[in-house]
Every structure is written in structure tokens, then in C-alpha cells.
Chain A
Amino acid sequence: MHDTTVILIEVGALLLGMSLLGRLAARIGLSPIPLYLIAGLAFGTGGVIPLDASASFFEIGSQIGVILLLALLGLEYSADQLLSGLRRSRIAGLLDGLLNALPGAAFGLILGWGPVAAVAVAGICWVTSSGVAAKLLRDLGRIGNRETPVILSILVIEDLAMAFYLPTLSALVIGVSIAQGAIRVAIAVGVVVLILFVALRFGHIVSRLFTPDHAEPLLLGVLGLTMLVAGLAEEVSVSSAVGAFLVGIALSGRVAHTAQEVLTPLRDLFAAFFFVFFGLATDASKLPSVLLPGAILAVVTMATKILTGYLAAKRAGIGIPGRWRAGIALTPRGEFSIVIAGLAAGTAPALAPLAAVYVFLTIIGGTVLARVPDAGWFKRLTKPKPRRASVATG
């Protein structure tokens, strides 16, 4: 058979299988990400049935997937929302970073993976999956809750923090000496600040490049600009994902809204490629050895996330049940953790399998736990104590 014919058959069969997995996930109220990862692992290096011909196709697809994931994330937020989120919740954001990134970094160092891999594990543990969390909130009918804005503002801050973290990490991954690494990090952060400034200040001019009235030119134009900036960002060793995120932020108004509509189906397709490719590229034979460390890391950092949300909600004046809901909603890690693991996969051989196990466990654990605060016994436990004292004395 000709090579392209094999690719068609392999990709087609895999997509069909993933569609079934997606339906299964929707049926049980779970994000499809863990199932996509399993599909990738099963067909990848050291997996059950290795797919060889289509690996390069999936590689390019997964690159575009990361870019689209981040661009769409940027489109969801306006520059003003980012700034006001930063103003209102920077303490919560700082707490979030400290409570979750530090245990991750410590874990990396304890495993003896070296400082760069430790920075990567810190990032993997730090960022909640905004996609999974937002969907959970909606599915559980919690958008009307008072703690929801608290959760969302933490997600916004994390995403903004990633705009600086990802280029720093990619600079560290390439950097040879400490001095060289420091220079690269400085350049990367400088470029991000510059693009962010342009996005905030001249976003309306960037938006004027496109017209929201015609879907097709808009699709091509926004996709083109995103890939162009992503590529240029990669060239100056700011990660391509960050370039795409910043393009998303720069676009605003109707252009952003329509672009989001036309790009979402593309994002869904290529993001699925991304998760599968991560599984494909991850050595499945290493999985058993990271199962226990991954589980420990998941338990520890889910607990720290719950604490983060609990404290942030407390600061916002939310009652005890709402604090638990906020904490648990933040536990699932997802797309960003995988992006980080993909970026730093070379720093430690077990990093990618660990991230796969970790994301798998936190998404499933977080999804199951998220329903606990709705249970009767939990409500009784967290209910404020009746004021018996006043009855006794009165």
C-alpha cells in the first residue's frame, strides 16, 4: 500500500475510535482528555498496536492543536478582563502559584530529575485545566453560584501567568549554562511583555485587519496570523503556544467573537490530535514505574488546590460549603500540563509518562470529587452550627 493510503486508514480509524470514546466520556460526564491520552498510549511507542505511518502527520497536527488551544483561550478573554482579574485576585493567584507549584518542584527534586525538570513538574501541578473546570461548573449548574467568579478569576490569572512561564521554561530547556539561560529567559519575558503591550494598547487596530462579516477570510486570516506569530515566537525561543495566546488576546470585539465561532471546530479536531500525539510519543512501557509517584503527586497537589480554592473563596466572603466547592472545582489539570510536559519531555525520560498519569488521575478524581459537595452528608457536615449557646443562655 502507498504511504498516504496507510495514513488515511490509520488516521480515519483512530478518529472514529476517538469519536466513540468522546461519546462514552460525555455519557459518564467526564472530559474526553483522559480517554484520548489512553488511546494515544495504546497506539504509541511501546503500546499495544504501534501506528508508524501517521506519526508525523499527528506530530504536525498536534503542533497546530497546541496553537489553536491557546489562541482560543486568548480569544475567550479580553485584555481588560485579564487586567481587572489581575487587580482583583492577584493575592489568590499568588497563593495558587505558591501552594501548587512548590510541591511540584519539590517532587521533581526528590525524584532527582534536576532543576529544569523540577520547574516543569511545578508548572504541571500549578495550572488547573480551565476547559475541564469551566465545563464541570456548567454541567453541575454552578454558574449561578457566588464562588464561581472566584474560581474563574484564578483560572484567568493562571493563564496569564502561563504567558510568562512557558517562554521561561522553553528558554531553560534549551539553555546550556546558567548565564545563557538567564539571558534567554530575559529575552523571552521581554518579548512577551512587548507583545502583551501591543495587544493591550493596539488590539483594536489588530482586530481591524479582519472583517467579522465573512467567515472564510476571517478563518484563514486569524489562523494565518496565529500560526505566523506562533512561528516567529518560537524562532526567538518564546514558545509558539504563547505567541498564539497573545494573538488571541489582541483580537477583540465582534472579530474575536466570530473568530471563536469559526475556529472552535478546528480547535476540537487538532486538540484531539494533540492529546493523542502526546500519548503516541510517550513511552507506554514506562507507565507502570510512574504509576505510584503520579498517584502521590495527584493526591498531594489536589489537596493543595482544594486549599487554594478554599482560602480564595474565604477571602471573597463565601461560606464553608462554597469554599469546598471552589477548591474541588480547581483540582483537574489538563491541557496546559500536557503542553508543559511536551515542551520539557527531554529533560527527564519519565516526565511525559508521569504527566499522562497525573492528568488522567486529576481529571477523573476532580470530576468525581466535584459532585461530593452536592451530597446530603457533605451538606450536613459543612452546615454552620446552629446557635445553641444563645438558646441556652436566652
Chain B
Amino acid sequence: MTIRIEKVDLPGIGVRHDLVTENGRRLGVVSYRDGDRELTISDADDPDACAYALPINEDEAEALADLFGASVAISRLTKLTDETDGLYTEKIELPADSPFVGRTLGDTKTRTRTHVSVVAIIRDRKVIPSPTPSQTLREGDVIVTVGTREGLDAAARLIADGPD
């Protein structure tokens, strides 16, 4: 399960976070400078356009995030992606057959090998922020990483298959 959230800068308007779902539709969250929010869903016929642009107020946004059960993780993600262009966050799930199950985060040497930072681990819907190298990894852990596109691809391979 790899989710890639892309931050799109909209000068003079605000920021948009795009997420491409498994079936190829683009889901966007627009945060306007004036605080308004909008949920957009891409058009099936024309993937560049959006079929729906739905204004969402703050309470609704919060309720929606709760419904999806990951409000904390998401607010952490958007905060991270706000900072810089060209950096992406990705949630990498630790597969059962990964060589790192039961070993520590430090053993993966993710930062040295792929220049990708691990900012949090999501385990049983709880967030472990800024995990230390001695943090033991378990099957099903979702590792929240920040890095370049190439780096994230390498990190996902590393975490799934171990170093080459």
C-alpha cells in the first residue's frame, strides 16, 4: 500500500493536495488562503478536469477525517508537505515477508541508503512520532517517510525486500 500525496502550489489561491486512488481517479483537497476548503474528484472522462468541487467547512473536514480514521496522521502529513516543493510523503506498509519484521528501524539504514527520513510510524491507528533507531518494527506497521520521488521508491523497495 503506497499512497503518494502530491502538493500543488497555487500562487494567489492556496495549496492543493492531490491523491491518485487505486482506480486512477484523482482526489484533491484545496486549501484556500482565506481558509475555505474544497474537496475535488477528477472527471472519469477527462482526468485533467474535476467532476466535483465540493466546498467543505472546518467541522465537516474534521468529521470526514475522523470517519476515515486517520485524522492525526493526515494533519501530520499536510503539515510536512506544506514546507517544500519537490518533497513527497509516502506511507510504506511493512509486509509480513519483509526481512525487517521484528528488527529495529535502525537496521533498515533507510536514511543512509535512500536519503529518505522516517518521520513517524502508524501502528494500530496510533501514531509513533519521530521514532528512534531502536524502535522495533512489526508486521503491518505503516512507516511514514519524507523524501524525493526516487528516494521514496528506493525506500519502499528496501523496506519490502531488504538491501540488495
Contact A143 B38 (CB under 8 A): yes
Residue among A81, A144, A149, A322 making CB contact with B53, cutoff 8 Å: A144
Shortest beta-carbon distance, B14 to chain A, in Å? 8
Please give, as numbers and ranges, the residues of chain A lying within 8 Å of B10 by CB-CB distance.
143, 148-149, 152
Listed residue (A76, A144, A318, A322) with the most chain B CB atoms within 10 angstroms of its CB: A144
Contact A152 B53 (CB under 8 A): no
Contact A144 B42 (CB under 8 A): yes
**Segment among A40-48, A134-142, A282-290 that sits at the interface with chain B:** A134-142
A360 to B99, CA, bound (A): 67
A84 close to B (CB within 8 Å): yes
Please give, as numbers and ranges, the residues of chain B lying within 8 Å of A319 by CB-CB distance.
46-48
Shortest beta-carbon distance, B52 to chain A, in Å? 8
A325 to B32, CA, bound (A): 21
Residue among B12, B38, B48 making CB contact with A322, cutoff 8 Å: B48
A107 close to B (CB within 8 Å): no
A145 close to B (CB within 8 Å): yes
A208 close to B (CB within 8 Å): no
Contact A142 B49 (CB under 8 A): yes
Shortest beta-carbon distance, B73 to chain A, in Å? 22
Interface 1/0 per residue, A115-158 and B, CB below 8 Å: 00000000000000010001001100111111111001101100
Residue among B11, B32, B38 making CB contact with A81, cutoff 8 Å: B11
Contact A144 B16 (CB under 8 A): yes
Contact B48 A145 (CB under 8 A): yes
Please give, as numbers and ranges, the residues of chain A lying within 8 Å of B85 by CB-CB distance.
84
A149 to B9, CA, bound (A): 7
Residues in B lying within 8 Å of A, measured CB to CB? 8-13, 16, 26, 28, 30, 32-33, 38, 40-42, 45-50, 52-53, 85
Residues in A lying within 8 Å of B, measured CB to CB? 73, 76-77, 81, 84-85, 130, 134, 137-138, 141-149, 152-153, 155-156, 257, 260, 318-319, 321-322, 325, 379, 383
